[in-house]
């Protein structure tokens, strides 16, 4: 790759032609999500991707098994060939296995509706990909949006069953913000029943970022649509991005107290986070963000609210963090996300050995 464009190199000969030659095969990187660890051997991977193209190599993290979210492989494929979203195969016990295949955006999708399979087993029906509703963009100007360096206060109401981004009101605008003209331009990008995505631009510094507030459904089948919407947003987002709110889903095994956590509860959400290349922002305050308010000996605590950020956010706001407050009378812990926290700078004192003061030129050297 050079300047984000693929380069094809061929061996030089004395009779080499400088004219452009037609490229028929290109190597691409793909990801196999949901593949069991016992299939991560190089021989098994070679047979598994034979239906897609010619196996070239696997990255170091896949061979060393240091990243378990997905297997990343380089495959040589035909230009313009059909590429499946899923791959089905049978293991040594005859059990059906399904693997999700991630490919670059410019690689074509399959023309038929059936995914590829390594045998004649009956494949489950293909689930249609949900579409993210893109409303007409609306422009809003919010004065005092960065008051106290707070990006947003996210309110997740159980009455409307939808995410709500609460912006600072006029009565909360400080005189300093009014004098300096600190405003933010907020543009609505995407919205659905489970997420709202806006683009925020500071009019003074012209810093911009994308913010997605989430309210996950109580049904795991409905949350599959949310995961797909986040993937679609990631494909179109090349900015600083933060995703926060009520995901109603766990990401790690240690995030629930009172009921054991199953892998099936984490799998879809983890695959979505890996695809979107998001990480947990530094969190302070309460670890568990929700509890069912039952009796103390039967109460269940879980961490189903969080803020996720991409690499650009971490680079632009390295000191940012999310603070989870006490839940009080609510089921959820309110949270505030700080982009540029105020850091108290202490005045350092000049210390020296007392014997230095006995030197005749000590004061002159220090003053100069």
Task: Quick: pLDDT tens for 133-146.
Answer: 333 333 333 333 33
Residues 173 and 109 in one domain: no
> Does the pLDDT value for residue 173 go beyond 80?
no
Residues 159 and 239 in one domain: yes
Range of the domain at 81: 25-117
- What percent of the chain is modeled with pLDDT above 90? 29
Three-state SS string over the chain comes to CECCECCCCCCCCCCCCCCCCCCCEEEEEEEEECCCHHHCCHHHHHHHHHHCCEEEEECHHHHHCCCCCEEEEEEEEECCCCCCCEEEEECCCCCEEEEEEECCCCCCCCCCCCCEECCCCCCCCCCCCCCCCCCCCCEEEEECCCHHHEEEEEEEECCCCEEEEECCCHHHCCHHHHHHCCEEEEEEEEECCCEEEEEEEECCCCCEEEEEEEECCCCHHHHHHHHHHHHHHHHHCCCCEEEEEECCCCCCCCCEECCCCCHHHHHHHHHHHHHHCCEECCEEECCCCEECCCCCCCCCEECCEEEEECHHHHHHCCCCEEEECCCCCCCECCEEEECCCCCCCCCCCCCCCHHHHHCCCHHHHHHC
> Do 47 and 152 lie in a common domain?
no
In this predicted model, what pLDDT tens digit does every residue of 50-59 receive, in sequence order? Answer: 888 889 898 8
Rounded average pLDDT over 323-334: 88
Q: What is the pLDDT of residues 16-67, one digit of tens each?
A: 777 767 778 888 888 888 888 888 888 888 888 888 888 989 888 888 887 7
**pLDDT surpassing 80 at residue 80:** no
User: Is 63 within a domain?
Assistant: yes
Task: With respect to residue 55, please indicate whether it lies within any of the assigned structural domains.
Answer: yes
pLDDT for residue 306: 95
The reported pTM is: 0.50
Q: Is residue 20 part of a domain?
A: no
Say whether both 167 and 85 belong to one domain. no
CATH number at residue 35: 3.30.70
Q: Once rounded to an integer, what is the mean pLDDT over residues 351-359? A: 83
């Amino acid at each position: 790759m050079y300047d984000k464009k693929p380069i094809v190199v061929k061996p030089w000969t004395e009779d080499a032609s400088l004219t452009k030659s037609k490229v028929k095969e290109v190597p691409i990187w793909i990801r196999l999500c949901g593949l069991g660890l016992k299939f991560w051997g190089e021989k098994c991977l070679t047979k598994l991707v034979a239906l897609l193209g010619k196996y070239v190599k696997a990255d170091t993290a896949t061979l060393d098994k240091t990243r378990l979210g997905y297997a990343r492989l380089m495959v040589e494929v035909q230009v313009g060939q059909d590429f499946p979203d899923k791959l089905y195969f049978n293991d040594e016990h005859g059990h059906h296995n399904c693997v999700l295949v991630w490919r670059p955006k410019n690689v074509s999708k399959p023309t038929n509706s059936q995914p590829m399979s390594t045998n004649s087993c009956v494949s489950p029906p293909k689930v249609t990909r949900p579409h993210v509703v893109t409303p007409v963009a609306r422009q809003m100007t919010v004065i005092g949006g960065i008051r106290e360096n707070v990006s947003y206060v996210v309110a997740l109401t159980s009455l409307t069953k939808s995410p709500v981004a609460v912006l600072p009101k006029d009565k909360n605008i400080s005189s300093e913000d009014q004098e300096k003209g600190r405003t933010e331009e907020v543009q609505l990008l995407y919205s659905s029943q489970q997420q709202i995505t806006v683009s925020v631009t500071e009019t003074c510094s012209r810093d911009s970022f994308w913010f997605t507030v989430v309210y996950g459904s109580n049904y795991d089948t409905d949350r599959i649509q949310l995961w797909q919407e986040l993937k679609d947003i990631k494909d179109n987002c090349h900015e600083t991005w933060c995703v926060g709110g009520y995901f109603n889903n766990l990401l790690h095994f240690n995030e629930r107290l009172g009921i054991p956590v199953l892998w099936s509860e984490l799998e879809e959400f983890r695959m979505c986070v890996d695809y979107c290349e998001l990480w947990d922002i530094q969190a302070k305050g309460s670890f568990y963000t929700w509890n069912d308010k039952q009796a103390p000996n039967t109460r269940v605590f879980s961490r189903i609210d969080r803020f996720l950020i991409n690499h650009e956010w971490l680079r632009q706001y390295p000191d940012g963090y999310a603070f989870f407050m006490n839940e009080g009378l609510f089921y959820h812990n309110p949270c505030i996300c700080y982009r540029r926290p105020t850091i108290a700078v202490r005045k350092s004192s000049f210390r020296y050995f007392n014997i230095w003061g006995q030197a005749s030129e000590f004061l002159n050297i220090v003053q100069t």
